[in-house]
């Protein structure tokens, strides 16, 4: 089995699991709580409550024109994977989710559960370079044009707009508040999980023996490092600064090893929201091929 086949199988399996998690959040928590939800699922929920149109069916119908409009911006590979995932998620929400009991308790708890489950489900699918279509097509097409904007922020703006429309239609101010809460949680979970893939820590080590420190770092965690020439501002002596990026767990090992190798070394540890390069995962979500 070649790498391409393995990736497609992994992608399909993740789409199924992610779709089930999303369907549970929407059908088993949001429907009975009767508050507007995010994305095209929110529009489908409005149509379901007004006309009893199956949510999966209406989602597929709405996706057709949006998918065609965004096709050129998101690329063939991502588009085809999203169409497949859209069909899977629609079938799951119409035929699998109804088999499980629905939550009939507090609306706030329902909103929190919906946000967490949908955030997890959507992110799982995004991580294998796929989507459930609909608002995802719009979000990712916009991000391809404006790569500096986080996907969570785009999702939150679109989702809030849909939630406001649903709340106004049903004259439910509380529903709008609960809907915005779950939309914010979805965006928060998506940002934390997606951008957390490339997060880590960076250390800058001021030392007299940069080569020795680099060798120590390589020995304990096999991370590359960079030596920068430096000049002491007080004693006016020549020093070296070793710069290294690694994971949180690796940073603890690096700190301990550096202190043992050079007790006089001065360490600065910084949070790195994103690290790109060899040894770190890269997420190319919806980029045109």
* Structure confidence by residue, pLDDT tens digits, 212-249: 999 999 998 888 899 999 888 777 788 899 999 887 77
112: burial class by Cβ within 10 Å (0-12, 13-18, 19+)? middle
Q: How far is CA 280 from CA 46, 56, 218, in A?
A: 42, 37, 16
State both tokens at 80: 């085809």
- pTM listed for this prediction: 0.69
Domain range list for the chain: 3-197, 200-272
The closest of 203, 189, 194, 182 to 253, measured between CA atoms, is 203
What's phi and psi for 242, nearest 5 deg?
-95, 125
pLDDT for the residue numbered 17: 95
Q: What are the 10-residue block averages of pLDDT along the chain, 289 residues in total? A: 84 94 90 76 77 79 77 76 88 90 91 92 88 77 73 76 78 84 86 68 90 91 89 82 86 89 89 67 54
pLDDT for the residue numbered 141: 74
Distance CA(222)–CA(246), nearest Å, equals 10
Pairing between β-strand 238-246 and β-strand 266-272 as defined by DSSP bridges: unpaired
The closest of 136, 146, 141, 152 to 42, measured between CA atoms, is 136
Distance CA(225)–CA(211), nearest Å, equals 10
When the pLDDT of each residue in the chain is averaged and rounded to a whole number, the result is: 82
CATH of domain 200-272: 3.30.70.120
């Amino acid at each position: 089995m070649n790498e391409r086949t393995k990736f497609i199988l992994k992608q399909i399996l993740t789409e199924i699991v992610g779709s089930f998690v999303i369907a549970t959040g929407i059908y088993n928590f949001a429907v009975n709580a009767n508050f507007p939800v995010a994305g095209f699922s929110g529009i489908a929920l409005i149509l379901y409550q007004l006309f009893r149109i199956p949510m999966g069916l209406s989602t597929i119908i709405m996706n057709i024109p949006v998918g065609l409009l965004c096709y050129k911006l998101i690329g063939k590979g991502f588009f085809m994977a999203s169409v497949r995932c859209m069909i899977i998620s629609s079938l799951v929400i119409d035929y699998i989710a109804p088999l499980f009991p629905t939550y009939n308790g507090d609306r706030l708890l329902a909103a929190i559960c919906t946000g967490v489950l949908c955030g997890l489900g959507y992110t799982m699918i995004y991580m294998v370079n796929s989507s459930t279509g609909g608002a995802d097509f719009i979000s990712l097409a916009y991000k391809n044009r404006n790569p500096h904007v986080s996907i969570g922020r785009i999702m939150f703006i679109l989702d809030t707009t849909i939630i406001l429309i649903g709340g106004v239609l049903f004259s439910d101010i509380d529903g709008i508040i609960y809907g915005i809460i779950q939309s914010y949680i979805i965006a928060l979970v998506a940002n934390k999980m997606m951008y957390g893939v490339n997060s880590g820590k960076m250390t800058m080590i001021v030392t007299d023996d940069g080569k020795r420190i680099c060798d120590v770092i390589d020995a304990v965690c096999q991370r590359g490092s960079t030596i920068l020439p430096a000049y002491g501002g007080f004693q006016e002596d020549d020093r070296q600064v070793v710069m290294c990026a690694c994971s949180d767990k690796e940073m603890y090992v690096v700190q301990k090893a550096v202190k043992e190798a050079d007790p006089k070394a001065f360490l600065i540890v910084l949070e790195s929201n994103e690290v790109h390069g060899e040894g770190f995962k890269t997420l190319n979500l919806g980029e045109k091929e």
